[in-house]
């Protein structure tokens, strides 16, 4: 059988359920969340990076509808949870004893290079443009920003997510 799915060779010709089970067994525990207020097309890219870096659980805060095209079907291989509000999300993370780390380049944020990214973190990414909401910022243990050295004010949120996911992996997995 010719398996044309975008999966590594190890997962060719096995069911989606078996892939999910194998990935769940080898998961490292990082969780991410996406604050979805505008149906940002970058969400698919973030989910794809999350899959590539071994994230098993993604929370979508707000709108359930998002552009999955950029995920390239990788959302099938992880667990996507939907919560209606920041309040509901914060309650869920408290139940899981997860530390909420928001990623946004706002005044007062901690540079990623010197920030503490705890093992029990949930990394939260906001919308392209507006970033995370004030309510979410107030609920976060810390807000981290990626240091930049050029003239642009920010990098794309999908690219930012990949950078911060990899930074967490460097500290806890690699």
Task: Rounding to the nearest 10 degrees, give the CA dihedral for residues 114, 98, 66, 13.
Answer: 100
Residue 126: domain span: 9-172
Burial 110-119 (b: 16+ CB within 10 A, else e): eebeebebee
* Beta carbons of 123 and 100 less than 8 angstroms apart: no
pTM, two decimal places: 0.94
Residue 4 lies in a domain: no
CATH number assigned to the domain comprising residue 167: 3.40.1280.10
* Beta carbons of 35 and 61 less than 8 angstroms apart: yes
Residue 17 lies in a domain: yes
pLDDT in single tens digits along all 174 residues of the chain: 688 888 999 999 999 999 999 999 999 999 999 997 676 678 999 999 999 999 999 999 998 777 777 788 899 999 999 999 999 999 999 999 999 999 999 999 999 999 989 999 999 999 888 899 999 999 999 999 999 999 988 899 999 999 999 999 999 999
Residue 2 lies in a domain: no
Q: How far is CA 119 from the centre of its chain?
A: 14
Residue 131 lies in a domain: yes
């Amino acid at each position: 059988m010719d398996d044309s799915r975008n999966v590594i060779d190890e997962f060719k010709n096995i069911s989606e359920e078996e892939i999910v089970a194998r990935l769940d067994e080898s998961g490292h525990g990082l969780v991410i969340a996406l604050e979805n207020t505008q149906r940002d097309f970058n969400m698919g890219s973030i989910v794809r990076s999350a899959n590539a870096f071994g994230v098993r659980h993604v929370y979508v805060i707000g709108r359930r509808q998002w552009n999955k095209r950029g995920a390239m079907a990788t959302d099938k291989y992880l667990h996507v949870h939907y919560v209606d509000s920041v309040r509901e999300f914060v309650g869920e993370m408290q139940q899981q004893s997860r530390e909420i780390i928001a990623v946004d380049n706002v005044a007062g944020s901690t540079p990623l290079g010197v920030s503490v990214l705890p093992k029990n973190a949930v990394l939260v990414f906001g919308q392209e443009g507006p970033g995370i909401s004030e309510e979410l910022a107030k609920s976060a243990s810390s807000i981290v920003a990626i240091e930049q050295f050029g003239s642009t004010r920010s990098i794309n949120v999908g690219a930012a997510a990949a950078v911060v996911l990899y930074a967490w992996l460097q500290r806890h997995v690699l």
